[in-house]
Amino acid sequence: MPDSQQVASNSSSSRSATATKPALWSSRFVFIMAAVGSAVGLGNIWKFPYITGENGGGAFVLVYLACIAVIGLPLMMSEVMVGRRGGKSPIGTMAVVAKAEGRSKRWVGVGIMATLAAFLILSFYSVIAGWTMPYIISAISGSFSDINAEDSGALFGGLLASPWQLLLWHSIFMGLTVLVSAGGVRHGLERAVTKLMPALFILLLILVGYAATTGHFGEAVSFLFKPDFSALTAEAILTALGHAFFTLSLASGAMMAYGAYLPKNVSIARTAVVVAVMDTCVALLAGLAIFPIVFAHGLAASEGPGLIFVTLPVAFGQMPGGGFFATLFFVLLLFAAWTSSISMLESLVSYLNEKGVSRVKAAIGGGFAAWLVGITTLLSLNVWSDFTPMDSFARFEGKTLFDLYDYLTANIMMPLVAFLIAVFVGWKMKPEHSKAELGAWHKLWFPVVRYLTPIALLIVFAFNLR
């Protein structure tokens, strides 16, 4: 057992005898790995490249980076801070902290909505993450070798059209998530993230290394970093802002739940900066790995959600050692999604655990419920693709159940939770209390969360509700 884990075992066993506090992360490094594991996922490797491709590249990337720095980062500091002050599940934490600040009990609603958002995201995230597994098998079995775009599209379409296949992969992925979650903070999460995250970084660097040899690296660099502001629409700005929340695992309880396990002597601000920078680096590395391949094979950057699943097999199929690189890529994506889904389940599991349910039962129960809801998502990709139950409301017209869950979480619940958290820490919490947690960084953080973040969020919300 490494020293750090030994320390955690010792300190948590003595702590558990005297207090109801949860076991803490054994070191700042472990917290960073867990938080990076939560932040880095499908959002970085699957979604960031395709929305960047759809929104014209450089200028969109610049706005996204600004959103991370100015809105996402202060909000992450806020969530981790509130989580550490409360030391409980997001629901329990909001109750404890609101009470300590002499505020209404109703603030607990923020924790409930965040937990619900995480649960809903998990239900469909698991379905998408499941796609990586048949791709790993195809990669290993050499099915991508010399595949053309049409056949690759058919392969992806075939997967989406088969509810049983989707059910199998969704079930396995949810099972993997429950497995780690049931193991608990020290035994499950820590062990998984400290091994998975470094592996993920190494795999990405190898892929970028390969991409640099394609002869189209320069093109990808200028696509990603040379802003063309004429390509930037108002909607692209909002997409970038919304993605900043999703990619940093904000407004869904994940960072708050993990913050509850953060030891008091760790600097929240410095840690949040590291997490945000690493998350951003992974997204940019994913872009640098994917776009040279896209350009080298004359594929469309604006392909959409199918970008990696439809176009990359074509590229992998043509490159030397493509089967090997394809396997690495989809394994990497599976790992990244896994460490994110674990954090999505944590809000609910930690809450049930507080209510006296054992961690194993809470993880199985929560995972099972999310799995059931996930089935409605996977059916809406095929059998229920015409089932659009909210057509009588113009805003929801033509949306399948999957589209509705996505819309409800990304466009309604997350901006609302983020707004309320900013209002809570900026206006309802005593500045001395936040100062005690954030130290010198408080001066910079406070005016941002008090004014800039809520105003920016109101604009997003107003736009979504038009």
Taking alpha carbons only, the member of 65, 53, 57, 48 closest to residue 285 is 48
Contacts with ligand PFF by CB under 6 A: the residue count is 16
Query: Shortest gap between Cβ of 453 and ligand PFF (angstroms)?
Result: 18
Distance of alpha carbon 378 from alpha carbon 385, whole angstroms:
9
Identify which of residues 68 and 296 has a Cβ nearer to ligand PFF in the complex: 68
Distance of alpha carbon 108 from alpha carbon 253, whole angstroms:
12
Query: Shortest gap between Cβ of 190 and ligand PFF (angstroms)?
Result: 17
Identify which of residues 122 and 224 has a Cβ nearer to ligand PFF in the complex: 122
Q: Which stretch binds ligand PFF (CB under 6 A): 80-88, 155-163, 242-250, 308-316?
A: 242-250
Distance of alpha carbon 193 from alpha carbon 33, whole angstroms:
6
Q: How far is CA 137 from CA 131, 157, 323, in A?
A: 11, 16, 10
Identify which of residues 139 and 257 has a Cβ nearer to ligand PFF in the complex: 257
Identify which of residues 68 and 118 has a Cβ nearer to ligand PFF in the complex: 118
Token pair of 268, please? 């929240």
Taking alpha carbons only, the member of 179, 166, 155, 174 closest to residue 131 is 166
**Binder to ligand PFF among 52, 194, 340, 377 (CB under 6 A)?**
340
Q: Which residues of 238-270 are buried (b: 16+ CB within 10 A; e: fewer)?
A: bbbbbbbbbbbbbbbbbbbbbbbbbeeebbbbe
Q: Does 343 bind ligand PFF (CB under 6 A)?
A: yes
**Binder to ligand PFF among 23, 254, 301, 429 (CB under 6 A)?**
254
Q: Are 86 and 114 in contact (CB under 8 A)?
A: no
Query: Shortest gap between Cβ of 234 and ligand PFF (angstroms)?
Result: 24
Looking up tokens 């609302």, which residue turns up? 416
Distance of alpha carbon 35 from alpha carbon 32, whole angstroms:
5
Q: Does 415 bind ligand PFF (CB under 6 A)?
A: no
Q: Does 144 bind ligand PFF (CB under 6 A)?
A: no
Binding mask 35-74 for ligand PFF (x = CB under 6 A): ---xx-xxxx------------------------------
Query: Which phi and psi (to 5°) does residue 169 adopt?
Result: -70, -40
Q: Which positions lie near ligand PFF, rule CB under 6 A?
A: 38-39, 41-44, 118, 121, 246-247, 249, 252, 254, 340, 343-344
